[in-house]
A and B are shown apart, each in its own frame.
Chain A
Amino acid sequence: MKILTLVRQVPDAEARVKINAGSVDLEGTTLVIDGMDEYGVEEALRLREGGGGVEEIVALAVGPKRVEDALRTALAMGVDRAIHIETGELLDPIALSRIVAQVAQAEGAGLILVGGQEADWDSQALGAATAERLGWPQLTWTNELQLEGDRLTGRHDVDDGNESFRASLPAVVTTQQGLNEPRYPTLPNIMKAKRKELRKDDLATYGVQPTVRVVNAEIQTRARLNRMIDGKDPQAAAEQLLDLLRNEAKVLA
């Protein structure tokens, strides 16, 4: 069985996001492999190490040239090879799922792992849209996963708690915190990763157009009052805070 793991490259959480002429400008921003996707890469490796009958793990990324770095990270963590569909085009998750489904089919993948919510477009749609295109079931927000033959079992979060599940491959699993602790690539593995296959693929062969246009982007920080209350006298501070919440902000009865 082959696992396809999807990788996005996003700004480091602590990095400043800049806007230029109505769109997000990542020039000069520190970019990393999305933490949510990293859980997916790690889980693929663990499923193989756990004897789940995993023949090959392939990482896929769609994006500009720089996205190679995220794929190299995945290769250094231990995936076998990578596919990079190089494009500067902004593809929304519904459009992107069309590419992922085609790659999954061409590769004969039985399991797709992808982050539950990407930190660039704050979207949870890619896993589900891909599953629908392939006609596969999906397990989202997974925080525990086992694979035996083509049987998947595990646990995932739902609206009001969590569920244990059972499903058969092929399937799409979206990953999140708690699933595992991603490993750091070691120096020898980083060196080895340089020799692993990183295939370039042409967007044109997939016949995909964006379905959503970005019209504008802005950083809207709400002006905060930043009013500090002296905490030296806890009683007085408590009374003053309640008074402000009741009579100034009017958010408490």
Chain B
Amino acid sequence: MILIVAEYAGGKLAKSTLEMVTAARESGREGPVTVLVLGQGTAEIANAAAAVADQVLVADLPALATYNAELWAAAAAQIAQEGEAHTVIIGGSRSGREYAPRVAVKLDAPYLEDAIHLASTGTALQAQRYTYLARVTETVEAEGPVVVVSVKPGAFAPAAPLAAAGEQYDVELDLPAARVEVTGRSVEKTSRVALTEADVIVTGGRGVGNPENFSLYVEGLADRLGAGVGATRAVVDAGWRPYAEQVGQTGKTVQPKAYVALGVSGAVQHLSGMGKSRYIVAINKDAEAPIFKVADYGIVGDVNQIVPALIEAARK
């Protein structure tokens, strides 16, 4: 079987889980597509997963109420072993890429990380992935009785519901004690679309000028377009915006249909996080800014003039 560990947020199945189901079906690996739901109070999530999967395994336990790398790894590895999974698929979120390697080591399995494409060739599973700050696309392959894969968010189309919902089963787990104690949490909440789920992203760089302009221009335009808000590291380091909005090597990787960069220079570390966007729009007053090299549509101009006009025009 192919085992997928569900990702969810705010009590809802995440789009990434639907993407993992597509990855499983496109991988050429055989057997039922099984989704494992780890957590507490997950009935709604399990139901949503059942709509796209052949079967759903539910571990609804107080110990799993909050994500913990060691517990998630133990749970996924146990179920993979008991269910004789030959493929384990985990989300390429920050947490997914944090516990997936532990699952691989537990199962003595190879690990294909952050895959954007999967295919079977003979006995091997092949994956495409980006390397060298996303400047290179590598094809890697591994074989074994079981292979662990993490899947890059946004790389696969979300799976559509099946005609009949998959069966749900409760599973037992033997979990270790959590050793990392969380003493505080700060959730960077935004009323906007999550960056990794957004079709359109408006990102502001240092060229936007100051935090007030960022609200006015970047948030203003994002609201008009129903878009997510991104920021460069320069802006985050300056304290204008939370780290959760940072796009790039050390921030989030995004792949929206349209990425609108306002006052962003286009440094390689930033490009590595957004360079795969379908369409890139750049507004920058410097015609030589590197961002224009990767732009589909570019306007050389001052954000103070162009963006208010854009917000105004988008109103129509």
Contacts and interface: CB of A to CB of B under 8 A. Distances in A.
Interface in B111-162: 111-114, 126, 129-142, 144
A177 B233 contact: yes
- Most chain A CB within 10 A, of B110, B134, B250, is at B250
A69 to B, nearest CB: 19
Contacts of A116: 250
Given A92-B110, A133-B105, A242 B314 contact: yes
Contacts of A120: 131-132
Interface stretch (A40-48, A78-86, A162-170, A182-190): A162-170
A11 B133 CA distance: 10
B112 A226 contact: no
B141 A228 contact: no
B258 interface: yes
B258 A125 contact: no
B191 interface: no
B306 interface: yes
Contacts of A124: 97-98, 101, 113
Contacts of A161: 185-189, 242, 244
Contact of B132 (A17, A158, A160, A213): A17
A132 B105 contact: yes
Contacts of B144: 211
Contacts of B186: 161-163
A249 B258 contact: yes
B262 to A, nearest CB: 12
B276 A163 contact: no
A94 B110 contact: yes
Interface residues of B, number: 92
A178 interface: yes
Interface string B8-22: 010000000000000
Nearest to A26: B132
B99 interface: yes
Most buried by A among B93, B97, B225, B296: B296
Nearest to A232: B301
A241 B297 contact: yes
Contact of B111 (A125, A138, A160): A125
B101 to A, nearest CB: 4
Interface in A225-242: 225-232, 234-235, 237-239, 241-242
A195 interface: no
Contact of B292 (A121, A138, A139, A226): A226
B306 A238 contact: yes
A138 B94 CA distance: 13
B85 interface: no
B5 interface: no
A220 interface: yes
Contacts of B281: 241, 245
A163 B188 CA distance: 11
Interface of A: 11, 13-14, 17, 19, 24, 36, 92-94, 97, 116-117, 119-126, 128-129, 131-133, 137-141, 153, 157-168, 176-178, 211-220, 222, 224-232, 234-235, 237-239, 241-242, 244-245, 249, 251-252
